[in-house]
Amino acid sequence: MKTPARVWIGFALIGLCLAALPFALAYAGTAWVRIANFAILYVLLALGLNIVVGFAGLLDLGYIAFYAVGAYVYALLASPHFNIHLPFWIILPIGALVAAFFGVLLGAPTLKLRGDYLAIVTLGFGEIIRIFLNNLSRPVNLTNGPQGITRIDPFSFGAFGFSGRDYLLGLELSGPIKYYYLLVAITLLVIVVNIRLQNSRIGRAWEAIREDEIAARAMGINTRNLKLLAFAMGASFGGLAGGMFSAMQGFISPESFVLVESIMVVAMVVLGGMGNIWGVILGAVLLSFVPEILRWTVEPLQQALFGRLLVEPEVIRMLIFGLALVLVMLFRPAGLLPSAVRKRELTS
């Protein structure tokens, strides 16, 4: 079947917008380019969690643990902490594999759990990983405890580094702008992998498990292996995002991987539409950008109206965040862009 010309035109326009976005944001300040980079990181996390929650129907409240594993793998192999400085294209796959191993480690003992019970176990797993990272400084200093790991190597290709400034065709390429293009490239690759997974036999098997695990097992689907595969695949994307976060920040500590971060990623998947790749991306972008817009506008607005700060931006952010989730659950329970299957389930 031939793809219509308007589809290719649409892709070209989206590509041009993505290419020009960092330079447009840079006019408002480098901070907004960094915000866009972290929004893309959340997109990666949400796409990974969507495999577990959206495709396979397994509620995971400890997903941020895999993010932490990937971040610490990169930090330990690219910092003066152990005086190891491996190239990032070697460390990122290692981090993804280690995170996948931890995903299987979490999935193996929880194969018979569903719903609230699975959520509680995964929540506990996420907290256990954070506590371990916080305490593995004695008797052997593996993680440097609550002080975290500093002076983490940025990405680099030979003499080309992602942390400094360069110029191309008269355009200034700052570190955040270079990281932006790399993040977009990796995100596009992850989206392609997700689309291929969703339309594959494995994706259809995950959907069968999500709808009725007993019926899926009766049809000959190996639910055990496929659930473990979902945990491993989702965790690997989290580990990949963690490595990117570690390189961009140059510093990590256990406080970056608290339970609230897991809840945020779950909310992105639920708000956007579980099981729909484009809905998940929309949810991640909204919940990443809107809080930052509030942070930059609420305080000046209160100062202009009342002459002083009455309500902290963080409080308003959480109020709006909670209200948005309540409204979505009331009026669009399948999410802003639900998958066709879930939409049929909730409307039939």
Q: Name the phi and psi angles at 153, rounded to 5.
A: -65, 135
β-bridge pairing 84-85 and 156-157: unpaired
Model confidence at 212, pLDDT cuts 50, 70, 90, reads confident
pLDDT at 118 over 90: no
pLDDT at 159 over 80: no
pLDDT at 1 over 60: no
pLDDT at 44 over 80: yes
Query: Which tens digit of pLDDT belongs to each residue from 292-343?
Result: 777 777 777 877 877 777 777 777 777 877 887 888 878 887 788 877 766 6
CA distance to 21, 178, 287, 292, 295, per residue, from 34 (Å): 12, 11, 15, 11, 15
Rounded to two decimals, the pTM is: 0.91
Query: Both tokens of residue 223?
Result: 């639910």
Average pLDDT on 145-154 reads 90
**Coil/strand/helix, residue 40:** helix
- The predicted pLDDT at position 170 comes to 66
Please tell me the distance from the alpha carbon of residue 306 to that of residue 304, in angstroms, as a whole number: 6
- What is the number of residues in the chain? 348
| 265 CB neighbour count, 10 Å cutoff | 27
pLDDT at 78 over 70: yes
Please tell me the distance from the alpha carbon of residue 303 to that of residue 246, in angstroms, as a whole number: 36
Average pLDDT of the chain to the nearest whole number: 86
In this structure, are residues 95 and 240 in contact, taking their beta carbons and an 8 Å threshold? yes
